[in-house]
Structure 1
Amino acid sequence: MTRKGQGAVEYIIILGVIILIALIVVASLGGLGIFDFSATAQARTT
């Protein structure tokens, strides 16, 4: 029973990491400008 709990926690952590990576990739592409990452990226490139 404890293994199932640990597995669920690990699954949630992995999902969170994947979502964070996806958000960073989308923001770096400048598609939606989430958290103004696209603005900082443009400032760095220029």
Structure 2
Amino acid sequence: MAKHEHGSMDTTSQEKTFDNFMNWVKWSSIVIIGILVFMAIFAR
């Protein structure tokens, strides 16, 4: 079994996935807040 060296793993794929997830969360939040503001302005 190869000896593990801390910090030697390539995390490029995980970092890209996390960045994409955070981008999705940001835009989803913006859309949801926009819908809520729209509903608050035009509520009867």
Flag whether TM exceeds 0.5 (same fold): yes
- Bigger relative contact order, structure 1 or 2, given CA contacts below 8 A and separation 6+? 1
| Structure 2 segments unaligned to the other structure (5+ residues) | 1-10
Aligned to 1:3: 13
CA distance in 2, matches of 1:3, 1:16: 20
Q: Which amino acid aligns with 1:12?
A: M
Q: Which amino acid aligns with 2:20?
A: E
Matched, 1:12 2:36: no
TM-score, normalised relative to structure 2: 0.67
| Identity score, percent | 3
Q: Greater CA radius of gyration, 1 or 2?
A: 2
Shift of 1:22: 0.3
| C-alpha RMSD over aligned residues | 1.1
Matched, 1:26 2:33: no
Aligned to 1:34: none
